[in-house]
Structure 1
Amino acid sequence: MKIFVAGASGAIGSQLVPQLVARGHVVVGTTRSAAKTEALRALGAEPVVVDALDPDAVADAVAKAEPEVIVHQLTALAGPPDFRHVKRMVAATNRLRTEGTDHLLAAGRAAGVRKVVAQSNCGWMERVGGPVADENGRIEPNPPADTATAVAALRHLEEAVTGIGWGDGIAIRYGGFYGPRTGIEIAPDAVMAGLLLKRRFPIVGGGTGVWSFVHIVDAASATVAAIERGRPGIYHVADDDPAPVHVWLPVLARALGAKPPRRIPGWIVRLVAGKGPVDMMTRARGISSEKAKRELGWTLEYPSWRTGFAEGLR
């Protein structure tokens, strides 16, 4: 198949492109930066520089590519941490999940695309029910006010993609990425790793929020499976070991060579950082990926973060 990967130079794109090429697919990969075109070419993709927020540019790029499948992996969260401009980075990602999604869908419909696969995440599963949610779970309808725009952007992406009537629309709710070019790796600019090494990523409150993780290589292989065999709707993609923050965070710190994380009461974090981070650390729910394994025949190279943190961070 010919596959148009929007956001091909990002963490998951850099794993996805070579996996697709190895399976005989022809890949056209987008980037915002001309400096990244040679890296994309080296991965096996035909690079194209495009601003995903420019509807005419997106329409032109998709029309010229004539793909059968569009894969939407656009975010603005890559690169070194810039904590002075966090709101700006989040706002840019929100636009890519709303306007960017709409531009890709309009271009795909005009070009006769048969399938769209898009990146969502599991961080804001509805805060009711047990500690683990399947695909019947919905995005939290009443998130803290300081996260409402970001959660609404995720909801827009999922509803827009799975609601297309002219093709198969698939949204993938990924667990937290770790591994090469993610925030959790052994590298000087890795966001979470850097914070843990400086003891600036604490266990908030009881650390009772349940998180799911997925190694970036496994995330890419699940995406390939969804492209090739996925049915319209939502798939969860994470490892088999959802766990509370107070369980996994000390293990991650140890794997990175950091001291044990501090513990900070939720009310202090709420005053400094807002309600959203406290909610994530104390109320988040993990996800089950049984549907993806059953329907897509997907298998994990790293079925648990317990081994993945020890073996897969480099």
Structure 2
Amino acid sequence: MKIFIAGATGAVGSRLVSPLVAAGHEVTGTSRSEAGARRVDAAGGHGVVMDGRDAASIRRAVLDAQPDVVVHQLTSLSAGFDFKRFDEVFAVTNELRTRGTDALIAAAHEAGTERIVVQSYTGWPNERTGGPVKTEADPLDAHPVPAAANTLAAIAHAERATVAAGGLALRFGSFYGPGQSLGEGGEMLEAVRKRQVPIVGGGAGVWSFCHIDDAASATIAAITRGDAGVYNIVDDEPATVSVWLPELARAIGAKAPLRVPAWIARSLIGDFGVAWMTTARGSSNAKAKAQLGWTPRYASWREGFRTGLGTR
């Protein structure tokens, strides 16, 4: 098949080119720069420069490629992480999830593309009431914290547009592993080493994790399997912050995390950070296992934190 990867030098996209080429597919991968396009070439694909915020650039790249499958992995997450300025940090990514998604779907339709697979996210966007673990049938948060409202709206838009176009939206859990913030040398992992990531309140927020290589394998599965719809791509063990954070510290040889009351943490990480640490809900991967035939290599973050944080 001819496969077009928008964002082929990003966290997930960079892990797709080589295995897809090895499987016999013709892969076109985009980057914002000539240097990135050359990295796609080196991986066996055909690298092209594309501006994911420019509909004309997207249309030209897709029509030139005439792909059977379009995979949307466009993000812009190099600005660091700030709970209090969440929407500001994700502003460009949100544009890629809205205008970028719309432009990719329109170009794919014009090119006669049969399938589209789009990156989404699960975890804090889940409704923060009811049981601790949500499925794809459960609603997103109807009352998001204002600091993340635009980001949630962009996620919801990407999912709606994708499913309406007959595509698959993959809701990835929180990434960890090589090259990630929660990976060796990454910003979040180093903050845990320095005891700068505390357990807030009772630490009752539930997180669902996804090793970066499992995100890639799920994407490859979705290229050929599964009906149109939304799929949670997470491991088998959603866990509260009070459980996973001390285990992560132990796995990397750091001191146990501090405990901070929510009212103190709010001044440091804002309402959104407190909500994620105390009221977030996890996600079930049962649908992805059943319909995509996908199983995570790291079934639990426990194993992943011990053996999967290092370099590729």
Query: 1:205 and 1:85, CA in 2 relative to 1: closer, same or farther beyond 3 A?
Result: closer
Q: Deviations over 1:278-310 (max 9, x none)?
A: 111111111111111111211221111111110
Q: Report the secondary structure of 2:5's partner residue.
A: strand
Match of 2:205 among 196, 202, 209: 209
Q: Deviations over 1:22-78 (max 9, x none)?
A: 222211111112222222222222111111001101100000010011111111114
Find the aligned partners of 1:6 and 1:139 in 2 and give their Cα distance: 26
Per the alignment, residue 91 of structure 1 pairs with 91
Contact 1:172 1:237 in 2 (8 A): yes
Per the alignment, residue 146 of structure 1 pairs with 147
Find the aligned partners of 1:41 and 1:250 in 2 and give their Cα distance: 42
Per the alignment, residue 182 of structure 1 pairs with 180
Q: Shift of the alpha carbon at 1:196?
A: 1.2
Per the alignment, residue 220 of structure 2 pairs with 224
Contact 1:76 1:89 in 2 (8 A): no
| Structure 2: gaps (5+ residues) | none
Find the aligned partners of 2:107 and 2:254 in 1 and give their Cα distance: 46
Q: Deviations over 1:188-217 (max 9, x none)?
A: xx1211211222211111110111111111
Find the aligned partners of 1:298 and 1:85 in 2 and give their Cα distance: 35
Structure 2 letter corresponding to 1:196:
V
Query: 1:223 and 1:82, CA in 2 relative to 1: closer, same or farther beyond 3 A?
Result: closer
Would you say how many aligned residue pairs link Structure 1 and Structure 2? 308
Q: Shift of the alpha carbon at 1:103?
A: 1.2
Find the aligned partners of 2:251 and 2:159 in 1 and give their Cα distance: 34
1:2 aligns with 2:6: no
Find the aligned partners of 2:183 and 2:60 in 1 and give their Cα distance: 36
Query: 1:227 and 1:95, CA in 2 relative to 1: closer, same or farther beyond 3 A?
Result: same
1:17 aligns with 2:20: no
Find the aligned partners of 2:174 and 2:146 in 1 and give their Cα distance: 22
> What are the residue-to-residue correspondences of 1:1-314 with 2, within 5 Å?
1-78=1-78, 81=80, 88-123=88-123, 124-164=125-165, 168-187=166-185, 190-314=186-310
Find the aligned partners of 2:262 and 2:18 in 1 and give their Cα distance: 43
Contact 2:87 2:150 in 1 (8 A): no
Q: Shift of the alpha carbon at 1:155?
A: 0.6
- Name the TM-score, length of structure 2 as normaliser: 0.94
Contact 2:87 2:148 in 1 (8 A): no
Q: Report the secondary structure of 1:64's partner residue.
A: helix
Find the aligned partners of 1:136 and 1:2 in 2 and give their Cα distance: 32
Contact 1:146 1:276 in 2 (8 A): yes
Contact 2:7 2:75 in 1 (8 A): yes
Range 258-267 or range 147-156, more displaced:
258-267
Q: Deviations over 1:139-182 (max 9, x none)?
A: 21110111111111111111111111xxx311111111111111
Range 249-258 or range 169-178, more displaced:
249-258
Range 290-299 or range 148-157, more displaced:
290-299
Range 190-199 or range 236-245, more displaced:
190-199
Q: Report the secondary structure of 2:203's partner residue.
A: coil
Q: Report the secondary structure of 1:93's partner residue.
A: helix
Q: Shift of the alpha carbon at 1:258?
A: 2.3
Find the aligned partners of 1:141 and 1:45 in 2 and give their Cα distance: 41
Contact 2:207 2:240 in 1 (8 A): yes
Find the aligned partners of 2:98 and 2:233 in 1 and give their Cα distance: 22
Q: Shift of the alpha carbon at 1:255?
A: 2.2
Q: Shift of the alpha carbon at 1:129?
A: 2.2
Find the aligned partners of 1:82 and 1:287 in 2 and give their Cα distance: 22
Structure 2 letter corresponding to 1:251:
E
Q: Report the secondary structure of 2:39's partner residue.
A: helix
- Identical amino acids, percent of aligned pairs: 50
Q: Shift of the alpha carbon at 1:256?
A: 2.6
Contact 2:86 2:148 in 1 (8 A): no
Q: Report the secondary structure of 1:11's partner residue.
A: coil
| Structure 1: gaps (5+ residues) | none
RMSD in angstroms over aligned alpha carbons? 1.7
Find the aligned partners of 2:141 and 2:108 in 1 and give their Cα distance: 29
Contact 1:239 1:305 in 2 (8 A): yes
